Chain A
Amino acid sequence: MSGLAGARGTWRIAVQRPRRDLVAYVGMLAVVGVVYYAGARIGLTLSLVERNVTPLWPPSGIAVAAFLLSGRRLWPAVAIAAFAVNLPITEGPLAAAATASGNTLAPLLAATLLLRVGFRRQLDRRRDALAMVFLGALVSMLVSATIGTGTLVVSNAISSDRLASAWSVWWTGDAMGVLAVAPFLLCLPLFRELPAWSASRWLEAGTVLVVAGAVATWTARSELPLLYLSLPVVAWAAWRLQLRGAAPASLVMCLITTRTAVNDDGAFAHHTLFEQMFTLQTYNACVALTCFLLAALVTERNQAAAALAAAAVELENRVERRSAELTVAKGRLVEEIKGRYDAQAQLSRSETNARQDHEIAETLQRSLLPDRIPQNPAVALAARYVPATANLEVGGDWYDVMQLDHGLIGLTIGDVAGHGLQAAATMGQLRMAVRAYAVQDPSPVSVMRGVHQLVSHLPMEEMVTLTYLVFDPATRTLRFTNAGHPPPLLFGGGRSKYLEDGVSPPLGVVDVAEFTEPSEEVWPGATLLLYTDGLVERRRESIQVGLDRLQREASEYEGADIDELCDHVLSSLIEGNHIADDIALVAMRPRSEADEALSLTLPAEPRMLGEVRRVVRRWLRQSGVAPDEENEILVACGEACANVVRHAYPTAAGDMVLEAHITDGLLDVTVRDHGTWRSPVERGGGWGLHLIEGLMDTVNVDRRPDGSTVRMRRQLWVRSRST
């Protein structure tokens, strides 16, 4: 389709070409014809052989230039002008037509060849200069020279033995005409196309032309072989002004020198025709070649320099643009860095906040757990709390050990589902609730019922597991109830069992719950272990495996001190350093005082006095001491301890230590403290020692700066069953 459209377009242009174009064409034909003819007339004045062989034939250059500038369609002008030129100087019209055809065909061939090789009429590349020399001049002009001299011979204008010399003169003349004239004509449009010259340029161009003319005239007319002095001038013109300066200069030089040679003047005098021709054509060739080869080279170089400069400018612009971009980018980067810094700071702040929250929760939890478990003479107690390492949150595990009325010991361990401050706070409330209910009524069912009611009235979502036990040291009996918590472990003396009875659903799960309180006798040497699920639960493992492991590890250490036992259980059940969930652990082991010496260490506080009496009473009974004596001994021990409570630690808290043993019916009781006694100023202060002295056989009081010791002895009426 496009081919058809193109064809139609061409056709339309062809038929619609305005008449004005035709006029312009005819005008151009006329101009070219006239110029060609004028050039020919000049050329003929330069002939060396007869009147039609010239060493410099400008028309051939004019024709080549005309075809290159305005197209080969101008050939009729060349043909007619050439015919007109040749008609008077050849043997008849036929010879003139033949010669004219040669004169026309040669430039046509030159233009065709040059167009074929991509010739640029600006002559600004080396290859254009070379193409002009070889294709435009030397090759193409073979045609005109051959046809022209052939016609001369055929028309008998010259004899055939002069064919060679005539041919060579014709050929070089045509070629020189192309080399000398065509560049000059081709350079003329450049004055319009290229940047205009400045005045100084014009001045320089004028100077070059004048100097070229002067030098050519002088050297040509000089007898000395100074012809080639022209070359520096041409080089100057080419160097400074390129084709526009060099082509006119070389044309002027060629014309002047040729003219001189034709006149047999100066350098050309006294030489044969061949020597003249050789010298002249060599000279012309050198000037012409120097002219446009150098001009082309310089132009090329200038263009390269300009391109380089443009590239440099472009590069500079690019660098500037890039710099600007970089500045912007840098600004953005700075902004981004600042943003990131801010974000980092924000992050650190939130991390700090999170850490603070965690610390608060942990502190809260630790403060909600018992700061120390009560020291009870009837039982050995130990407890551990290990927070999870993986979880930043604090868990809701808790335990508590309560000294209740009538020597009962309440134990509880529980787990509030969830983590964080809320769980810790709930845990704290529950711990206090258990404590309050246990003080009111230590019965497990009663305590659990109370806690259950509380939980169902509290606005909490959490599920709570809880085991509560009460131990009576006098009967060595445990009563317990369990709301969904892992069962306590009782072990020792080669036996072990989980207390799996008395289980009810976790608190907060069902509205109405029934609780039971089974009881269990704690056999001598047995230890009770309470724990939370973190101790026995592992990922990808049945809880039964954990329970079995606990039973095994605990039993292995049943004879160990209770603190060692706790440490062993923790270290053997915790996997590596990773603690997935919080772990709480409480161990209780009833003491068997009867067969041993009694040793008590208790805080020197009034509320502990009853405890001392209870333990001593039980110990005395188990040791077989009679009730009458029991009361008196209790008073003596009580007074000694009361003195410690009242006088030993006036400013700070401290402990009192009571040790007792019976050897061969002799009761030996020592009450020690580590305080500084103040004088018993209060009334009643003196009664204590008085009573002790009255109730015991011997009393020794040893008061030192680092503490006091009261040692009391009494011979028992009934011999003790102990040794």
Chain B
Amino acid sequence: MTEPARVDISTDHGTQVVRISGEIDLSNAAQVRDAIGASLPDLPIVLLDLTGTEYLDSAGIAMLFRLAERLSYNRQELQLVVPPDAPIRAVIRLTKLDRVIAVKNRAS
């Protein structure tokens, strides 16, 4: 059973900060997306902090792509925070997600 991913949403200096902890896979990617998109204020930058994300599979990657695309319609920018030593770093790299979405090492 997949551990339920936890989604915390906050605002920090004009930036929408969404912290996702736990594991994201096929079973809960849609729920995570809905949780993130449920009440996004109209701020220019949405920062997705994946520091606490322990697992991310291709369903999660696809979800991130779609989220970025949807935000871009709204002239909002999606940024990711993924530490260099994070377990999901390999997936980000292999899917070349970092070429579409800005990936930061840490939330500044």
**CB-CB < 8 A to A682: which residues of B?**
62
CB pair B61 A646 closer than 8 Å? no
**CB-CB < 8 A to B25: which residues of A?**
606, 609-610, 613, 638, 642
Q: How many angstroms between the C-alpha atoms of A608 and B1 in the bound complex?
A: 5
Q: How many angstroms between the C-alpha atoms of A610 and B26 in the bound complex?
A: 10
* 1/0 contact string of B50-85 vs chain A (CB within 8 Å): 000001111101110110000000000000000000
Question: Is B49 an interface residue, CB under 8 A from the partner?
Answer: no
Segment at the interface with B among A91-99, A229-237, A683-691: A683-691
Q: How many angstroms between the C-alpha atoms of A303 and B95 in the bound complex?
A: 134
**CB-CB < 8 A to A645: which residues of B?**
26
Take A645-B26, A690-B95, A691-B91 as given contacts and tell me if A610 and B58 are in contact as well, using a CB distance cutoff of 8 Å.
no
CB pair A690 B27 closer than 8 Å? no
Q: How many angstroms between the C-alpha atoms of A694 and B91 in the bound complex?
A: 9
Number of A residues, CB within 8 Å of B: 28
Give the Cβ gap from A486 to chain B, nearest Cβ, in Å. 31
Selected contact of B94 from candidates A608, A638, A694, CB within 8 Å: A694
Question: Is B102 an interface residue, CB under 8 A from the partner?
Answer: no
For window 677-710 of chain A, which residues contact chain B by CB distance below 8 Å? 682-684, 687-688, 690-691, 694-695
Selected contact of A691 from candidates B28, B66, B94, CB within 8 Å: B94
Give the Cβ gap from A605 to chain B, nearest Cβ, in Å. 8
Q: How many angstroms between the C-alpha atoms of A553 and B1 in the bound complex?
A: 35
CB pair A687 B2 closer than 8 Å? no
CB pair B90 A631 closer than 8 Å? yes
* 1/0 contact string of B12-37 vs chain A (CB within 8 Å): 00000000000101111000000000
**CB-CB < 8 A to B26: which residues of A?**
606, 609, 642, 645-646
Give the Cβ gap from B25 to chain A, nearest Cβ, in Å. 5
* 1/0 contact string of A633-645 vs chain B (CB within 8 Å): 0110011001001
Q: How many A-B residue pairs have CB under 8 A?
A: 80
Question: Is A527 an interface residue, CB under 8 A from the partner?
Answer: no
Q: How many angstroms between the C-alpha atoms of A609 and B95 in the bound complex?
A: 20
CB pair A607 B2 closer than 8 Å? yes
Question: Is A397 an interface residue, CB under 8 A from the partner?
Answer: no
**CB-CB < 8 A to A607: which residues of B?**
1-2, 27
CB pair A683 B27 closer than 8 Å? no
Residue of A nearest to B95 (CB): A687
Q: How many angstroms between the C-alpha atoms of A690 and B97 in the bound complex?
A: 13
Selected contact of B3 from candidates A606, A610, A635, A687, CB within 8 Å: A610
Selected contact of B58 from candidates A405, A611, A639, CB within 8 Å: A639
**CB-CB < 8 A to A610: which residues of B?**
1-3, 23, 25, 27
Q: How many angstroms between the C-alpha atoms of A691 and B89 in the bound complex?
A: 12
**CB-CB < 8 A to A683: which residues of B?**
62, 65-66
Residue of B nearest to A632 (CB): B90
Q: How many angstroms between the C-alpha atoms of A683 and B67 in the bound complex?
A: 13
**CB-CB < 8 A to B61: which residues of A?**
684, 687
For window 456-473 of chain A, which residues contact chain B by CB distance below 8 Å? none
Residue of B nearest to A407 (CB): B1
Question: Is A284 an interface residue, CB under 8 A from the partner?
Answer: no
Question: How many residues of B sit at the interface, in one of the four size bands?
Answer: 20 to 34
Question: Is B87 an interface residue, CB under 8 A from the partner?
Answer: yes
CB pair B1 A642 closer than 8 Å? no
**CB-CB < 8 A to A403: which residues of B?**
1
Give the Cβ gap from A406 to chain B, nearest Cβ, in Å. 8
Selected contact of B91 from candidates A608, A609, A635, CB within 8 Å: A635
Residue of B nearest to A631 (CB): B87
**CB-CB < 8 A to A684: which residues of B?**
58-59, 61-63, 65
**CB-CB < 8 A to A632: which residues of B?**
90
**CB-CB < 8 A to A609: which residues of B?**
2, 25-27, 57
* 1/0 contact string of A595-627 vs chain B (CB within 8 Å): 000000000001111110100000000000000
For window 109-167 of chain A, which residues contact chain B by CB distance below 8 Å? none
CB pair B1 A611 closer than 8 Å? yes
**CB-CB < 8 A to B63: which residues of A?**
684
CB pair A635 B95 closer than 8 Å? no
**CB-CB < 8 A to B95: which residues of A?**
687, 690-691
Residue of B nearest to A608 (CB): B1
Q: How many angstroms between the C-alpha atoms of A683 and B61 in the bound complex?
A: 10
Give the Cβ gap from A663 to chain B, nearest Cβ, in Å. 24
CB pair B55 A638 closer than 8 Å? yes
CB pair B1 A613 closer than 8 Å? no
Q: How many angstroms between the C-alpha atoms of A694 and B65 in the bound complex?
A: 19
**CB-CB < 8 A to A613: which residues of B?**
23, 25, 55
Residue of B nearest to A606 (CB): B27
**CB-CB < 8 A to A406: which residues of B?**
3
Q: How many angstroms between the C-alpha atoms of A606 and B87 in the bound complex?
A: 21
CB pair A687 B27 closer than 8 Å? no
Q: How many angstroms between the C-alpha atoms of A684 and B3 in the bound complex?
A: 22
Cβ contacts A to B, 16 pairs, < 8 Å: A403-B1, A405-B1, A405-B3, A606-B26, A607-B1, A607-B2, A608-B1, A611-B1, A613-B23, A634-B55, A635-B56, A687-B61, A688-B58, A691-B57, A694-B90, A695-B90
Which 10 A-B pairs give the minimum distances between C-beta atoms? A684-B62, A610-B2, A606-B27, A687-B58, A694-B94, A631-B87, A688-B58, A642-B26, A606-B26, A609-B25
Interface residues of A (CB under 8 A from B): 403, 405-406, 606-611, 613, 631-632, 634-635, 638-639, 642, 645-646, 682-684, 687-688, 690-691, 694-695
